[in-house]
Amino acid sequence: MTQSSNTATAPRGFRNIGQHGIMAQANHDEAAREDFIAAMYYHVQSEVFPGNKIAYETRVLPRFAKTNKPPPRTRHEIRREMEREPAFQWWSSLRRTTQEMKQATGEELVARQIPELLKKSKVHGKTKGSLKLDPSLAIPRYLSKVDFHCQPGGYFSERTKDDITPAAIYDPGVYVLTKGFMGPYCEAAGATAINYLGREFPGFRPRKILDMGCSVGHSTLPYCDAFPEAEVHAIDASAPMVRYAHARAESMGRTVHFSQQNAEFTDFPDKSFDLVLSHIVLHETSRTALANIVKECKRLLRPGGMMLHLEQRQHYGMDAFEQFYYDWDTLNNNEPFWGTLHDMNLADVAVAAGFERGKVIETLQPNVVAADMLDTLIGEGQDFKRTALWFVFGARV
């Protein structure tokens, strides 16, 4: 296995995280632990993962050749073979352990300062934006039953009145697990969509914007800066997420109207938005919910409006081995809908929701945040030696 000599690719340190009024504060040892986890995760992906390819080519394929059997064709067939390989067992176990370590350090970081964070989450006086909670909201099973990416309690557990714990853990967790490459405020998905809109639709100036599944607002806030004349709304089914997102946005001086809602069936009137978005949300839903969310986008859009959903890449155009790599999350990182979503034909989903096929958008867009660092990753085994790309699925009306 080669050792990387390019130190420019090292994860951005935890001390470079974008600060705001409700961010959990790390002491020296906690920051050092987070830096260890980011470095470990980077190492596991860029230096340990390539051993899988070597094992596949030098052990698995020759086994098939010896017996004259056709080689594995699908990612599932590849996985079944690879699960017997020490290289896979080693990589997969290290990756899962790193993920679990991250969730454990996030728990510790937040638990010791929760009384203070709860105080900070209460926004007093005149606010720029707003917060609307719905304690009667029925949380869909695909959300309530899953501790996504191994976060204990998922997005919904509330241990105390008006809790924000899941959001306070999630916020720095995204920064660490993406090694800082999403930007100081983890704004990469929003910034990439804005860059795409500016380049491909320069005259498009939405007056009302909705971000669905906003979590803590990482992707939401960039729209306030890109479209200062627009009214920005953001929804999430999780109360802790929208409470935290509201306090975060207020402390950062951005005006966003947050509400706790299910993106499948919102309470906004028909044709009330020019731009409806989601970022890294669809893979955490279900086949039925996805169809409902796309239908809801269609209902909410005004003539001339646009729906955009940013996600990891679909399987189209990937070879089976690459699909096997991307699919690790489905079985090992509590992301049960991940692989199914990436197999789906999303243009068909949009058409079924009432969008015209000719107005469907499916494009790969380069990540525009920390692009300097991402470019140096090419050639180091991460993302199969390609620059990082976002998959953008959407449609115009």
Ligand X SMILES: C[S@@+](CC[C@H](N)C(=O)[O-])C[C@H]1O[C@@H](n2cnc3c(N)ncnc32)[C@H](O)[C@@H]1O
Which residues of this protein are in contact with ligand X, per CB under 6 A?
A: 140, 143, 155, 189, 213-215, 218-219, 235-238, 241, 262-264, 279-281, 284-285, 289
Q: Minimum distance from CB of 241 to ligand X (Å)?
A: 5
Sign of CA dihedral 264, 241, 214, 366: negative
Q: Minimum distance from CB of 219 to ligand X (Å)?
A: 3
Q: Minimum distance from CB of 336 to ligand X (Å)?
A: 13
CA distance 135 to 158: 12
Q: Minimum distance from CB of 279 to ligand X (Å)?
A: 3
Task: Compare residues 78 and 239 and give the one whose CB is closer to ligand X.
Answer: 239
Token pair recorded at residue 277 = 């978005």
Task: Compare residues 4 and 259 and give the one whose CB is closer to ligand X.
Answer: 259
> Residue with CB nearest ligand X?
213
Q: Minimum distance from CB of 237 to ligand X (Å)?
A: 4
Task: Compare residues 71 and 140 and give the one whose CB is closer to ligand X.
Answer: 140
Q: How many helices (H) and strands (E) would you count in the chain?
A: 17, 8
Q: Minimum distance from CB of 107 to ligand X (Å)?
A: 18
Residue 309, H or E segment: strand 301-311
For residue 96, how many other CB atoms are within 10 A of its CB? 15
- 2-9: list long-range contacts, CB under 8 Å, 24+ apart: 2/47, 2/50, 3/47, 4/46, 4/47, 4/380, 6/376, 6/380, 8/373, 8/376, 9/42, 9/46, 9/373, 9/376, 9/377, 9/380
CA distance 59 to 226: 51
Task: Compare residues 6 and 288 and give the one whose CB is closer to ligand X.
Answer: 288
Angle at 22 between CA 17 and CA 23, to 5 degrees: 25
Q: Minimum distance from CB of 127 to ligand X (Å)?
A: 21
Task: Compare residues 292 and 382 and give the one whose CB is closer to ligand X.
Answer: 292
Task: Compare residues 50 and 172 and give the one whose CB is closer to ligand X.
Answer: 172
Token pair recorded at residue 316 = 């189209």
What distances in angstroms separate CA 237 from CA 166, 212, 256, one per listed residue?
13, 9, 16
Task: Compare residues 274 and 284 and give the one whose CB is closer to ligand X.
Answer: 284
